[in-house]
Amino acid sequence: MSGVTSTEVSGQSLSIGEVAERTGLSVHALRFYEREGLLVGPVRRTSGGRRRYGSFDVDWLLICVKLRESGMPLADLKRFAELVRQGPGNEAERLRLLDAHQQRVDAQIQALEECRSVIAWKVGVYAEHLARGEAGGLWDPTA
């Protein structure tokens, strides 16, 4: 990362509330991300101590949100952020982290597709029986 922040490049400076709105994270979650070292760079502050974020921060947070929503462990996300902060030279390790996560997500998707298939089959069974007026007694535990 160069010494120039996205805020300086774009001229954009956002409050914590504006970043919360753009990312879908709560203000509390943004403070947690900062405390846990999940951000790539330090959060800038006004002379009054208020946090100011740039567009790069928002872009990074949007990636973090998707990684967390897809089940990336917090420890892996922390490691990924740490590697990005370190700069060039560790791309292979970043790739390993992301590849392992992608494999986990692919496995979850496959499992969900199998579940969806069973559910669709069961919906069909019930719909067919109801359409024929023969739904009484389907999976009746009292029978």
pLDDT in tens, 70-117: 999 999 999 999 999 999 999 999 999 999 999 999 999 999 999 999
Helices and strands counted in the chain (H then E): 6, 2
CA angle 25, 29, 33 (to 5 degrees): 110
What is the Cα–Cα distance from 73 to 76, expressed in whole angstroms?
5
Instruction: Give the pLDDT confidence score for residue 115 in this predicted structure.
Output: 98
Model confidence at 143: pLDDT above 90: no
List pLDDT tens digits, range 11-53. 689 999 999 999 999 999 999 999 999 999 999 999 999 999 9
* pLDDT attached to residue 11: 60
Is 50 exceeded by the pLDDT of residue 129?
Answer: yes
Question: What is the average pLDDT across 6-11?
Answer: 46
The dihedral region occupied by 65, where left means phi > 0, alpha psi between -120 and 50, and beta the remainder, is: alpha
Say whether pLDDT at 138 is over 90.
Answer: no
* Reported pTM: 0.78
Q: What is the pLDDT of residue 2?
A: 38
